[in-house]
């Protein structure tokens, strides 16, 4: 059996899961990985970048043993319907395995034009939903959640997460429009991009808005460097992770002059990074352990100098709100220099593993670059590094690019 229809079936659910906040991507990835075992029989051993990535995940999972707080692998019961995996390290080992199986399975998939078309169509559906979301979200949220303030807030957060997922999907969709439909496709891509940017601005989804810029910069780098672009792109991302505490400390100092003019939310983000950088120096080699940042409960009440620059309702707000909203810093804080170096080495290996950009069809090379560019922006501003939904959506998007490569490459042969 061909693996392409399995991936197409998964992408039929992509817009729905994105609207619901994206956490459903992790179990969906589990299903695609499980199917790959039977339909595609991925080859072993894995590539060097995948091996290094898995070693990083194993190290991160091991760090859970010296993290603060109680440690439980699982909780609840299957019979009672409240079973859950409490160990974030174990969850990420599963995510890593299913990501590898899904990607490896797609690498062995037969050409599948219909499945590839379904994937592209579903990304188009999600793009349309995002463009319309500022005008429909209020009505939909009220209809679904009623007047419950807490649930309305959760619904609004899901809209923001959906915007981030759409930014990942745009990186794949836009090159397919431009190079697949030529002039009409380029016009439609421009309309979609402008519509999405306006929607992100109206929704206040700044990470998704900046992701469009990251996507464009990464695509521009590939256009300028058709032979070594991927090596420079992933090498730069690796360098950013490896040097994150130094780079972000320098950014904070550079912004000190204009900090009073920045929005309170942005200043609080900079202060959160400053606290995390200080904590990194307490355990630079091993880190504080997986999810340690969740235990840092200090509020702005402990920093009256910062609180004086914020409205009063920030008094009891945590300086580090669960995680630093910068995955590179979180990797350093929780897995230490060892974890950061392992992650960086895996990205360098990926850059050298990928074919030269000029050897790939334009829609494939620009989609791969755009995916990396948009992802690194979201990586820097939005989620916890242990957000299963984000990584699962990224793995599925990468598998979609591989499916298109398998299909378009074979059709041209």
pLDDT at 248: 95
| Within-domain flag for 254 | no
pLDDT, tens digit, for every residue of 110-164?
899 999 999 999 999 999 988 888 887 666 666 555 566 566 566 667 777 888 9
| Within-domain flag for 294 | no
pLDDT at 190: 96
Closest CA to 127 of 277, 258, 262, 18: 18
Closest CA to 103 of 373, 359, 371, 382: 371
Question: Which residue ranges in the chain fall short of pLDDT 70?
Answer: 1, 40-42, 70-86, 137-156, 410-413
- Give 133-195 as a DSSP string: HHHHHHHHHHHHHTT-HHHHHHHHHHHHHHHHHHHHHHHHHHHHHHHHSHHHHHHHHHHHHHH
Closest CA to 254 of 235, 230, 274, 279: 274
pLDDT at 143: 54
pLDDT at 235: 97
| Within-domain flag for 264 | no
pLDDT at 412: 47
Q: Is 389 within 8 Å of 92 (Cβ atoms)?
A: no
| Within-domain flag for 46 | yes
Range of the domain at 70: 4-225+386-412
pTM for the model: 0.92
| 84 secondary structure, DSSP code | E
| Within-domain flag for 200 | yes
| Within-domain flag for 57 | yes
pLDDT at 73: 62
| Within-domain flag for 347 | no
Strand partners for 75: 84
Count: domains in the chain: 1
pLDDT at 411: 45
| Within-domain flag for 364 | no
């Amino acid at each position: 059996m061909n693996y392409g229809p399995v991936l197409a079936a998964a992408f039929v659910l992509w817009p729905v899961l994105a609207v619901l906040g994206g956490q459903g991507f992790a179990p969906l990835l589990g299903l695609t990985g499980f199917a790959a075992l039977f339909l595609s029989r991925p080859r072993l051993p894995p590539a060097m970048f995948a091996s290094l990535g898995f070693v990083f995940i194993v190290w991160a999972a091991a760090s859970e043993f010296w993290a603060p707080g109680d440690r439980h692998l699982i909780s609840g019961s299957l019979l009672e319907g409240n079973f859950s995996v409490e160990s974030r390290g174990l969850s990420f080992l599963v995510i890593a395995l299913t990501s590898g199986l899904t990607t490896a399975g797609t690498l062995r998939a037969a050409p599948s034009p219909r499945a590839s078309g379904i994937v592209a169509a579903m990304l188009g559906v999600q793009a349309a939903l995002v463009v319309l979301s500022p005008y429909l979200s209020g009505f939909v949220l009220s209809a679904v959640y009623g007047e419950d303030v807490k649930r309305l807030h959760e619904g609004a957060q899901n809209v923001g997460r959906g915007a981030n997922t759409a930014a990942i999907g745009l990186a794949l969709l836009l090159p397919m429009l431009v190079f697949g439909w030529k002039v009409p496709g380029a016009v439609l891509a421009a309309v979609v991009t402008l519509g999405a940017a306006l929607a992100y601005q109206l929704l206040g989804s700044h990470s998704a808005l900046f992701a469009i810029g990251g996507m464009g910069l990464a695509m521009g780098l590939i256009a300028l460097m058709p032979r070594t672009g991927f090596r420079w792109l992933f090498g730069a991302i690796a360098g950013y992770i490896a040097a994150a505490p130094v780079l972000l400390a320098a950014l904070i100092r550079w912004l000190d002059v204009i900090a009073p003019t920045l929005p309170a939310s942005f200043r609080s983000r900079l202060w959160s990074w400053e606290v995390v950088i200080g904590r990194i120096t307490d355990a630079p080699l091993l880190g504080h352990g997986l999810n340690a940042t969740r235990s840092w409960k200090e509020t702005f009440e402990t920093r009256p100098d910062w609180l004086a620059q914020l409205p009063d309702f920030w008094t009891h707000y945590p300086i580090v709100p669960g995680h630093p909203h910068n995955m590179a810093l979180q990797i350093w804080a929780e897995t230490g220099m060892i974890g950061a170096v392992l992650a960086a080495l895996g990205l360098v290996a990926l850059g050298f593993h990928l074919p030269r950009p000029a050897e790939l069809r334009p829609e494939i090379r620009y989609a791969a670059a755009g995916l990396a560019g948009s992802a690194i922006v979201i990586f820097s501003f939005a989620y916890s590094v242990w957000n299963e939904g984000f990584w699962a959506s990224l793995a599925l998007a990468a598998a979609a690019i591989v499916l298109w490569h398998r299909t378009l490459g074979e059709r041209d042969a």
